[in-house]
């Protein structure tokens, strides 16, 4: 990887917005079969012994496991970000019935998705050797995380009280801030504007947890090179969502 050397102008911009700097963690993966407790993209998730694989609410087919995050395998600073346990994101990719479009899966809380946190201490794990998902994606186990600085985009900065010039906004974008690609925490790389979902219980804005970008670690494209974001309500942690947007 070639590191881009920042110009004095770029350094000055980042110093000006330094109060909004966050740490994001980029997953490093290996293409191999992991355990049901591993953090990973695709593969066999942690399921209870008598539990059926989660199915789409429209086509009733088994949904893809997009990502599973075990809090014990996250960076120390982020281990309680969703409250501990194993976070799972299931998503239906059945093109024949067009579940993504029919269920409007680009919006949060679609019936062709399922997000939940499982407590492994309360589960007798199901034993599966082969995924029942049709055309299941290749499994990639997250073996470590690389920390990186992250900054909000110009629109989010504007809401935070910092107005950037067009040149500064372009400069921020050219430095890949907010970071694109799959990542844990940091700032969302919004595509069509700020879109934090509202919790259906309390109407509070939900917090950002994880970003899944098109064709990064999953062989999947959200619309036209879109980007998906996983969020959670802080007051009602059982309320989790995935939503995405594209150009």
Q: What is the pLDDT of residue 4?
A: 63
Identify which of 186, 227, 228 has the alpha carbon closest to the alpha carbon of residue 75.
186
CB atoms within 10 A of CB 24: 23
Superfamily of chain region 24-245: YwqG-like (2.30.320.10)
The pLDDT tens digits of the residues spanning 109-159 come to 999 999 999 999 999 999 898 999 999 999 999 999 999 999 999 999 999
Cβ contacts of 208 within 8 Å, gap of 6 or more:
185, 186, 187, 188, 196, 229, 230, 231
pTM: 0.95
Strand partners, 162: none
Phi, psi of 148 (to 5 degrees): -150, 155
Report CA-CA distances (Å) from 142 to 17, 67, 83, 129, 157. Answer: 31, 10, 20, 19, 31
CA distance linking residue 103 with residue 195, whole number of Å: 18
Identify which of 116, 128, 130, 119 has the alpha carbon closest to the alpha carbon of residue 49.
128
What is the helix (H) or strand (E) element at residue 26, kind and residue range? strand 22-30
Handedness of CA 114, 239, 101, 142 (dihedral sign): negative
Q: What is the pLDDT of residue 50?
A: 92
Give the tokens for residue 45.
């998730």
Phi, psi of 78 (to 5 degrees): -115, 10
Q: Are 199 and 34 in contact (CB under 8 A)?
A: no
Q: Are 186 and 179 in contact (CB under 8 A)?
A: yes
List of the chain residues with pLDDT < 50: 1-2
């Amino acid at each position: 990887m070639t590191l881009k050397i920042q110009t004095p102008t770029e350094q000055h911009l980042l110093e000006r917005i330094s109060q909004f700097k966050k740490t994001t963690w980029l997953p490093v993966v290996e293409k191999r079969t992991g355990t049901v407790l591993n953090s990973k993209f695709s593969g066999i998730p942690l399921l209870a012994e008598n539990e059926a694989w989660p199915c789409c609410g429209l086509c009733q087919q088994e949904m893809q496991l997009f990502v599973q995050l075990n809090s014990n395998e996250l960076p120390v600073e982020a281990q309680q970000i969703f409250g501990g346990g194993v976070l799972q994101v299931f998503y239906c990719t059945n093109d024949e019935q067009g579940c993504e479009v029919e269920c409007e899966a680009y919006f949060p809380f679609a019936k062709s998705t399922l997000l939940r946190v499982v407590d492994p201490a309360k589960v007798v794990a199901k034993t599966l050797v082969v995924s029942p998902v049709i055309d299941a994606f290749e499994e990639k186990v997250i073996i470590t995380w690389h920390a990186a600085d992250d900054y909000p985009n110009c629109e989010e900065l504007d809401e935070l009280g910092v107005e950037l010039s067009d040149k500064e906004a372009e400069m921020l974008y050219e430095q890949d801030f907010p970071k694109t690609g799959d990542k844990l925490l940091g700032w969302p790389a919004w595509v069509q504007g700020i879109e934090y979902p509202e919790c259906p219980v309390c109407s509070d804005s939900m917090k950002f947890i994880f970003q899944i970008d098109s064709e990064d670690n999953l062989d999947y494209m959200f619309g036209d090179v879109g980007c998906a974001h996983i969020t959670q309500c802080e007051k009602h942690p059982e309320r989790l969502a995935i939503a995405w947007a594209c150009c």
